[in-house]
Structure 1
Amino acid sequence: MNQYILAIDGGATKTTLSLRDASGKVYFEKTSTSTNYQAIGAEKVEKVLTNLLNEAYKATGILDIAVATFAIAGVDTQNGLAIVQQIIHRSCGNSPFSIRRTIVENDVQSTLIGLTGGKAGALLISGTGSAAYATDGQGRIERSGGWGHRVGDEGSGYWIGREILNTIFRSEDGRLEKPTVLTDLVYDMLQIDNIEQLNDWIYQPDYTNAQVANISKILTKAISLGDEQAIQIACNAAKELSIMTNAVLRKIEPIGEDFIVYLNGGILKHNPIILNVFKDYVKKIYPYISFHLCTQNPIDYIANRALSSLK
């Protein structure tokens, strides 16, 4: 009998569910909105997951699931894990699926396991949020960063977006020595005309972390125009990401020469200056490690995590 797995990649911006068999064949896959309960609340997360699960069943008619891996952003503490487990329990109860084993993990941890296949390695993600995880290949997993937008997420899309917005307000106040193109680029993106409208946008009732993270997309354009403030933000982001990575690598030393640091997330993929400066910083401490920029969709790594638990 064929075995089926569910892989759910629940991030701060979007959530993807994939239903596959043991050979990796995809039977259903769909992307919806965020399932980070810290950002949108437990009720909305439950609704998103319930809808995805029911759509997967209606599309496939498959009932028996061997393993379901829920890789969810915001699973950072035991209390957070308990909250997410309750949400998932209710969501699965609202669907027809019979799931024999359920794995609930932080999304970065699941991705790391899916990437390394149990071997030593590390993963840095910089998307809407940021975090670094590493494993020694002997079952030990350590982390650095990933403490959320209120106190952390350094070097992430949200962090960069917030830095850009802060720069615009500082420029408006006359607190910068030189003008910045960031103002015009953000105004154009948001289709607004002045600082008061920007302030209203920030404090709108429907404000989300993802909206601020989206602002980071203008950074590359600003850098190409030679904007000093944009270049400084990029370099600061790279430094913060390197500090996070070096910290987690220290926790699992010694590091072998074949050690790989996997890199994932839109910030690292679409900002060459951040990527290159980051590598330079890390290489100063760990000159022999190598880097691998992930090219597959994140859901594929989560699916690998689920499939590995079948073996």
Structure 2
Amino acid sequence: MSAKKIPFLAVDGGGTKSLCYFFDMHGQIRGQGRSGSCNYQGVGKEAAVRELIHAIRNALEDGKLVGNGEVGETELETDCAALGIAGLDTEYDRRIILALVEEALQYLRIRAKRLIIENDGFAALLGATNGQPGILMIAGTGSIVYGVNDQGVVARAGGWGHRVGDEGSGYWIGKQAIIHILKTMDGRVAPNKLAEHILPYLDLKDPEDLFNWTYNSSYSVEKVAELSSLVSQAHTQGDQVAKSIMIQAAEQLFTCAKAVIERINLYRQPFQIILQGGVLQNNAFVREYVTNQFNTFAPSGQIENKNKEPIYGMMALALDHYQKFHDG
């Protein structure tokens, strides 16, 4: 008995949520599903597979692409599956994630004639620029910059995670604030308003409590990233230390963008600039500072107020790969 044909499959597997679409040749969505994070670096391999299965199963059921109770029981076939998965930064990551994806598809009895796996930031770039020349700068909990030129050459900078990178991100800003509060206690930094904003938010009494908090189970990347909005509040009240942290954040972000622009010669042509993530969307000072840097260094770039979901980039990638294979 031949396998049941299903439409194309696209997945945006982010660090917070996963989104799955089944769609046809015309880009019409036939079924969609959501689940939690499938970033194996954050949730572990078993949980990553589980969430990926959950998102795909939900999409199959939403589109009634299989009958009741048939998910994982009926063999399915798709012409192309394109997945953008968080945590894919090295070839080592690629091998692990490929195995996780294959495990999920095998569990659901889905056979993909063509399987494409990319970093979720690359998916976001394609979704935001629609394949046209552009820069995508993301500064949320983490940070990364991607770029693509008119030849389709892609480059990235940053995005190496909170332990060794993510400069300019919400986490980085929050971490700098904590460092400066402790330095203030030592007398190494001039008096500032950071402690009076951050300590009450964390329900702490003094900088020593803050030190203890950073080394206990209450500490998390997400919680530290939340502190970035308090740094912004301190800045609006005239705090110069808070201002210096945000200037450094903006400069770090633009350094990544400059490196990408130079590597792919993007400044030689008109290109789009898409700014995404909570820091760039909600912190007007950082956004304006970065925008001014772009205007000075690369005036041919145009800031676009787009926020197209990354999954549309994976849909375009799946269709493009299928068309090339089919025409060939």
The interval holding the TM-score normalised by the smaller chain is 0.7 to 0.9
3-state SS in 2 of match to 1:124: strand
Corresponding residue number in structure 2 for 1:289: 301
Which residue of the partner structure matches residue 212 of structure 1? 224
Match of 2:13 in 1: 10
Comparing 282-291 with 89-98, greater Cα deviation is found at 89-98
Q: 1:199 to 1:89 in 2, by over 3 A?
A: farther
Residues 82 and 265 of structure 1: CA distance in aligned 2, closer, same or farther (over 3 Å): same
Aligned to 1:89: 102
Which residue does 1:235 correspond to in 2?
247
Q: How many angstroms apart in 1 are the aligned matches of 2:314 and 2:210?
A: 37
State the aligned residue count: 308
Post-superposition CA distance 1:24-76 (Å, at most 9, x none): 336323242x3332333323322322332333334434255443322122211
Q: Are 1:202 and 2:214 matched, yes or no? A: yes
The residue number in structure 1 matching 2:162 is 149
2:150 aligned counterpart, secondary structure: coil
Counterparts in 2 of 1:37 and 1:262: CA distance versus 1, 3 Å: same
> Among 18, 21, 24, which residue is 1:19 paired with?
21
- Once residues 207 and 8 of structure 1 are traced to their aligned partners in structure 2, the CA distance between those partners, rounded to angstroms, is 31
What are the Cα deviations for residues 126-179 of structure 1, in whole angstroms up to 9, with x where unaligned?
122211122222232112222222221111122112112212222233322122
Measured in 1, the distance between the counterparts of 2:64 and 2:317 equals 24
For the structure 1 residues 256 and 84, does the alpha-carbon distance in structure 2 shift closer, same or farther, using more than 3 Å as the test?
same
> C-alpha distance in 2, partners of 1:220/1:134?
28
Q: Which runs of 5+ in 2 are unaligned?
A: 66-75, 324-328
1:270 Cα deviation after fit: 0.8
Contact 1:4 1:19 in 2 (8 A): no
Q: Whole-Å Cα distance in 1 between the matches of residues 197 and 280 of structure 2?
A: 21
Which residue type is aligned with residue 227 of structure 1? D
Q: Does 1:38 align with 2:70?
A: no
TM-aligned CA deviation for residue 277 of structure 1: 0.6
Q: 2:64 and 2:239 mapped to 1: Cα distance?
A: 54
CA shift, 1:293, in A, is 3.4
| Residue 254 to residue 197, structure 1, CA distance change in 2 (3 Å) | closer
Length-normalised TM-score, structure 1: 0.87
Distance 1:57 1:9, change over 3 A: same
Q: Is the 8 A contact 2:13 2:52 kept in 1?
A: no
Residue 55 of structure 1 is aligned with which of 43, 46, 58? 58
> What TM-score does the superposition give when structure 2 sets the normalisation length?
0.83
Does 2:224 align with 1:221?
Answer: no
Q: Cα–Cα, structure 1 residues 207 and 24, in superposed 2: closer, same or farther, change >3 Å?
A: farther
Separation in structure 2 between the aligned mates of residue 274 and residue 175 of structure 1, nearest angstrom: 25
Aligned to 1:249: 261
CA apart distance, 1:96: 4.4
**Contact 1:2–1:21 under 8 Å retained in 2:** no
Q: Quickly say closer, same or farther: Cα 1:211–1:35, change in 2 above 3 A.
A: farther
1:83-120 deviation per Cα after TM superposition (whole angstroms, max 9, x unaligned): 11112112222224443332211111122223333332
Structure 1's 58 and 279: CA in aligned 2 closer, same or farther, altered over 3 A? same
What secondary structure does 2:31 align onto?
strand
Please state if 1:110 is matched with 2:113.
Answer: no
Alpha-carbon distance in structure 2 between the residues aligned to 1:159 and 1:45: 25
Q: Partners of 1:67 and 1:197 in 2: how far apart?
A: 53
2: CA distance, partners of 1:135 / 1:291: 15
Query: Distance between the aligned counterparts of 1:168 and 1:141, measured in 2?
Result: 39
Whether the aligned pair in 2 keeps the contact of 1:7 and 1:299 (CA below 8 Å) is yes
Larger Rg: 2
Flag the 1:216–1:303 CA change in 2: closer, same or farther, 3 A: farther
**1:151 and 1:206 mapped to 2: Cα distance?**
21
1:18–1:26 Cα contact (<8 Å) kept: no
CA contact (8 A) 2:127 2:309 kept: no
Letter in 2 for 1:105: E
Q: Among residues 147, 158, 168, which one is paired with 2:171 in the alignment?
A: 158
Between 1:77-86 and 1:236-245, the stretch displaced more is: 77-86
Which of residues 280, 285, 302 in structure 2 aligns to 1:268?
Answer: 280
Residue 74 of structure 1 is aligned with which of 51, 69, 87?
87
Do the aligned partners of 2:81 and 2:116 also contact (CA within 8 Å) in 1?
Answer: yes
Q: Is the alpha carbon distance of 1:205 and 1:45 closer, same or farther for their aligned partners in structure 2, counting shifts above 3 Å?
A: farther
Mark the runs of 5 or more structure 1 residues left unpaired by the alignment. none
Task: Please say which of residues 50-59 and 141-150 is displaced more in the overlay.
Answer: 50-59
Distance 1:207 1:64 in 2: 44
Measured in 2, the distance between the counterparts of 1:83 and 1:2 equals 28
1:188/1:17 CA distance change after superposition, 3 Å: same
| Matched-pair identity in % | 31
Q: For residues 26 and 169 of structure 1, what CA distance do their matches in structure 2 show?
A: 54
